[in-house]
Amino acid sequence: MHSFLEGLNDNQLESIITTDVPLRVIAGAGSGKTRVITNKIAYLVEQEQINPFKILAVTFTNKAANEMKNRIKKISHNKYTIPHIMTFHAFCVRVLREDYELLNLKKDFVIIDTSEQEKIIRKLLKTLNLDDSKNKPERKIISKISKWKSSFVTWDDAYESSFNPTDKSYAKVYRDYEDYLKENGYVDFDDLLLKVHALLKYNIETRKKWINRFSYILVDEFQDTNNVQYDLIKWLTDKRGCLTVVGDPDQTIYSWRGAKVNIILNFEREFQNARTILLDQNYRSTKPILDLANSFIQNNKNREDKNIYTQKKEGEKVEVKECATKYFEAKYIAKKIEELVKNHKYAYSDIFVLYRINAWSVDFEKEFANSKIPFQLVGGFQFRDRKVIKDVTALLKAIAIKDNFSFERVFSFVPKVGAVTADRLFNCAEENDLNMFELLTQREDLVAKISKHLGEITNVLRDCNQMFLDNKPVVEIASYAINKSGYKERLDLKDKDGVDSSENLNAYLDQMRRFDNDYEANESDGNRLIKFLQEETLNMTSEDIFETPNKVTLMTIHAAKGLENKVIFIVGLSSDVFPSRMSMYSKEGLEEERRTFYVAITRAQERLYISYVSGEYSYLANGEFGPSRFINELDPNLYSIEKSIFFHSSTEMSSKKYDSGVVETVPQKLDAGVKTGEIIEHLMFGEGVVNKIMDKYIQVSFSNPAYGTKLIPISSNSWNKK
């Protein structure tokens, strides 16, 4: 037996050696799916004798792709590499580089990121006299355009089907946005998928070429697949048995990105002779955590039935905490973290605090800072958002792509060239039908009339452009540019987030050096700087960047997907927050929220804490917070609960009364003083009918439709029986 097949359980082994039929691997949380995928790739090469270049493995994040590549290197002891382990977007870039002419693209097409999209939208809004700088609708418009494009809705169809003036205006922006991209040779992230989809759908010869390119295809995180990605997979496999998909329907939490849970659920109907293998042994979590997760997710009906088990029989019971306010919730968890670090020898980096919405982090940030608990906020300032990284990238784009967006940033760090001078330069270029690169390097007579401070940067652009045309290494071009332009000499010692700018710059140069080495090893064709810039744009998703210093990590549950840690706090399990109010309008929405909570639970390895706020008025809940319905769906035999203590002040909260006054108990039913069907009067919501009486709450349907049905604490003095 090959060494990489040793130590596998029976289902893992069967998943790897099954290669003759389309295979669906339902991989429960923590069941070793990445190990299965990477070991199967090794099996295909060493046992099935498939050329590594004929294997395609696609996933959803660069982090996951890089992890697979590193594991393959270890398994093979660097005997071979698998060049086609990549995200869906990266695969589509590979296709477009080769078949760009068939789609009327330029060879060196430019991939624009979100910040560049926003600049384009702002420009178009001004052109259409729709400028709304106060409300800043750019991101909303980008999201709207993305949904239209991904649903194959043209701008005129969007315009005709829109009933309000705002959406009709957005449709016009959509029209001009698409024209702008086409005129400038730009593609956005949606285009990468959609253009390849169109190519393979309508050009049968090209589709055959790509079918023959790959002998086996593997798809990771298959539950996150949307219809466009699914079509690509079906076309590339062409009804052959050379397909393995791995995923977990219970972890489909990206429907807002187009993911369709029914794609993985209906796999066996779509692929003839398909098989399913279940990975149901969890290697991550303790039994108490898994028992709670298994029990909870069974409330969903549209799922593949499974019960994940573990051989870790021991473990701490899950703890649920009811808190009087958001402030007390943060205070309680800060104290619990201090206890874990001091008495149970956990490091701060062993702890995640997860929440459904970003807005829930505010109280925790304040309390952790006051309590001197080191923490990091995922979704904050990321590596590629650093000024020095954006500056150098803009300089490289100005050299290779010569786009005006990049020159806007370049001028911002050229000494003695302010906004007025930059505007005059752009106007001059437009009047003479030149791009900015041509103006600076070919019409120095015009430039000299505007500014005498551009000689240094012009020489750098000219020299580096020749290096670019000669296909010199990226790190060589970048080093020359930042040194000769004086940028490195003028570099601020610290950026605005207090991080050493030179360290960030050196890390970026190291990244370029690694790219150059891989480029040489793979004997790639095409210009290396263009390829680097295209790949760098693909890498600009914050979810792929995750550092683990010795700090508590605060992040959303969606950001935590794919991660795990020893201690997990899931906070904010309050009504109208989690599940969200919008999800309550549909069965599908509620089931996705339930899957999101399931994902959060299964991040925990050793200890799990769940908390919610009850009794505090909040605009988030449009009333008083109560426990999430998910709290009521948890099996009370599988957790202990600490009841809420209502304090009159923060001083009382920090007293000994707090330390000794929290009692571990099970939910107790209070006397409501009303019966089902009786009418109450609420201080804010008016009259309502009691629908249901629970342990500590009454469910009330209010006469005013604006308030609908709410949970009201029995102990609250905000209501009376009529």
Residues contacting residue 440 through CB under 8 Å, at least 6 positions apart: 447, 454, 457, 458, 461
Q: Is 527 left (phi over 0), alpha (psi -120 to 50) or beta?
A: beta
H helix and E strand count, the chain: 31, 23
Residues annotated as binding site for ATP?
Answer: 27-34
Greatest CA separation for the chain: 88
Closest CA to 230 of 206, 208, 261, 273: 261
Dist. CA 251–CA 353, nearest whole Å: 19
Half-sphere exposure of 599 (CA within 13 A, CB side): 26
Closest CA to 562 of 55, 69, 15, 59: 59
Active site includes 220?
Answer: yes
Residues annotated as binding site?
Answer: 27-34
The catalytic residue among 12, 24, 33, 188 is 33
CA dihedral 175, 176, 177, 181 (to 10 degrees): 110
What burial class does residue 633 get, using C-beta atoms within 10 Å of its C-beta: 0-12 exposed, 13-18 middle, 19+ buried? middle
Dist. CA 545–CA 310, nearest whole Å: 30
Active site includes 221?
Answer: yes
Dist. CA 644–CA 455, nearest whole Å: 69
The catalytic residue among 59, 117, 251, 596 is 251
Alpha-helix residue ranges (DSSP H) falling in 304-418: 326-343, 362-370, 387-400, 404-412
Closest CA to 546 of 19, 35, 61: 61
- Return the residue matching tokens 């696609």: 58
Following DSSP, what letter does each residue of 261-323 receive, concatenated?
HHHHHTHHHHSTT-EEEEE-B-SSS-HHHHHHHHHHHTT-SSS-----B-S----PPEEEEEE
Dist. CA 196–CA 206, nearest whole Å: 10
Q: Is the peptide bond before 705 cis (omega within 30 degrees of 0)?
A: no
The catalytic residue among 603, 607, 696, 710 is 603
The catalytic residue among 18, 19, 34, 281 is 34
Active site includes 34?
Answer: yes
Closest CA to 466 of 481, 456, 453: 481
Active site includes 603?
Answer: yes
The residue type of 655 is: S
> 698 in helix, strand or coil?
strand
- Return the residue matching tokens 């804010």: 684
What burial class does residue 21 get, using C-beta atoms within 10 Å of its C-beta: 0-12 exposed, 13-18 middle, 19+ buried? middle
The catalytic residue among 190, 220, 536, 593 is 220
With residue 255 as reference, give the H or E element that holds it. none
Closest CA to 283 of 30, 33, 80, 499: 30
Dist. CA 20–CA 532, nearest whole Å: 37
Dist. CA 87–CA 537, nearest whole Å: 13
The catalytic residue among 116, 221, 543, 606 is 221
Q: Which residues are catalytic?
A: 33-34, 220-221, 251, 603
